[in-house]
Amino acid sequence: MSSSVRALTGALLLLATLLAARPAEAGPHDFVVYIARMGGDTATARPYVQKFAAQLEKLMGWKPGSAAGAFFADRKEALQDIKTRQPAFALLDPPLYFELREPSALTLIGQLQSTELVSSKLHLVVKDDKLTSLEALRGAVLTTTLAESPRYLSKVVFDGKLDAVKHFKLKRVGTALKGVRAVLTGSARATLVDDDQLAAARKMEGGQALRSIYSSPALPPIPVVAFGKVMKPADQKTLEKALPRLCSGAGAQTCKDMRLPGFQPKNVTLFAPTQKRYERP
């Protein structure tokens, strides 16, 4: 083998190695689903996400295999995927949407039609009948699924009445009912639950003693957003028009398998009050 051929072969091998080492880049139709309340894990959800992507491709007229999706119930994993793959659009739990709205140039293109997957209101629940106010919980352990979103907790859930990090000892829990158990066993003084979770908690042993001492303002649904730095405006508008039809007809079973009841045309008034609270000093 001549020296020139060996050099060319070496260069090609080096290029192949470098390309293999690079993380997969997202295409213009790739997406992320981050809904903590769904639970589960990325690997288990993969076949359902693939079916959802295939249905979306048919509806949008995209090339088969051009839309790759990923599901996450863990906030850190979702953030890492967004950073690495740079997807075109996403379904995001509201706290992460407001956190990324400006830095990622997110554009609202719709919202999920669901009361099961997101809380429309949260209650601060205690067991000790001596605890009757927010002030009485200063320095107390608060269990919540929102511990990783302290600004959302402070500005939105507690409506700016306190700084959640300074006021409480925040303890993250994966599910609301784990937080309830912590209150019932005495390892926490308070937790945050919505109406349905509170009703379920009161059926637990000792649950009748639980009381709500504070309720949040109305909270927004799960938004569907486009990453403005990735997805072209024309594609955003096309997807926005198509979303309300995604879970009907041939797509009904696919959405059911994904636990997605349907999508609604974007309604900025559902998010504006929360955005105003989140952005205030």
Q: Is 88 part of any domain?
A: yes
Residue 16: pLDDT over 60: no
Which residues of 23-144 form beta strands (DSSP E)?
31-34, 69-72, 89-92, 106-112, 123-126, 141-144
**Do residues 214 and 142 touch, judged by C-beta distance below 8 A?**
no
Tens digit of each residue's pLDDT (9 = 90 or more) over 18-27 = 333 333 445 7
- Mean pLDDT of the region 193-201: 96
- Mean pLDDT of the region 147-164: 98
Q: Are residues 153 and 87 in the same domain?
A: no
- 200 or 40: which leads in pLDDT: 200
Residue 5: pLDDT over 60: no
- Domain termination residue (choose one: 183, 215, 247): 215
Q: Are residues 186 and 226 in the same domain?
A: no
Low-confidence winner among 17-26, 85-94, 212-221, 222-231 (lowest mean pLDDT): 17-26
231: domain CATH number is 3.40.190.180
Give the count of beta carbons closer than 10 Å to the beta carbon of residue 278: 20
Q: Are residues 81 and 154 in the same domain?
A: no
At residue 7 the predicted structure's pLDDT band, cuts being 50, 70 and 90, is: very low
Domain region containing 128: 123-215
- Domain termination residue (choose one: 215, 242, 266): 215
Q: Is 24 part of any domain?
A: no
Residue 2: pLDDT over 90: no
Q: Are residues 158 and 231 in the same domain?
A: no
What is the enclosing helix (H) or strand (E) of 259? none
Q: Are residues 138 and 210 in the same domain?
A: yes
Q: Is 84 part of any domain?
A: yes
At residue 115 the predicted structure's pLDDT band, cuts being 50, 70 and 90, is: confident
Tens digit of each residue's pLDDT (9 = 90 or more) over 175-195 = 999 999 999 999 999 999 999
The answer to whether the predicted template modeling score (pTM) of the entire model surpasses 0.85 is yes
Q: Copy the structure tokens of residue 125.
A: 């629940």
pLDDT given for residue 43 in this prediction: 94
* Distance of alpha carbon 104 from alpha carbon 227, whole angstroms: 6
Q: Is 252 part of any domain?
A: yes
Q: Are residues 90 and 172 in the same domain?
A: no
Residue 94: pLDDT over 60: yes
pLDDT given for residue 13 in this prediction: 40
Average pLDDT, the chain: 90
Q: Is 110 part of any domain?
A: yes
Q: Is 155 part of any domain?
A: yes
- Domain termination residue (choose one: 215, 237, 264): 215
Share of the chain above pLDDT 70, in %: 91
Q: Are residues 197 and 234 in the same domain?
A: no
Q: Are residues 80 and 194 in the same domain?
A: no
Q: Are residues 250 and 196 in the same domain?
A: no
Give the count of beta carbons closer than 10 Å to the beta carbon of residue 66: 14
* Distance of alpha carbon 128 from alpha carbon 112, whole angstroms: 37
Specify the number of domains making up the chain. Answer: 2
Q: Are strands 223-227 and 89-92 parallel, antiparallel or unpaired?
A: antiparallel
Residue 54: pLDDT over 70: yes
Q: Is 9 part of any domain?
A: no
Q: Are residues 208 and 229 in the same domain?
A: no
At residue 250 the predicted structure's pLDDT band, cuts being 50, 70 and 90, is: confident
166: domain CATH number is 3.40.190.10
Q: Is 241 part of any domain?
A: yes
**Do residues 226 and 75 touch, judged by C-beta distance below 8 A?**
no
pLDDT given for residue 24 in this prediction: 44
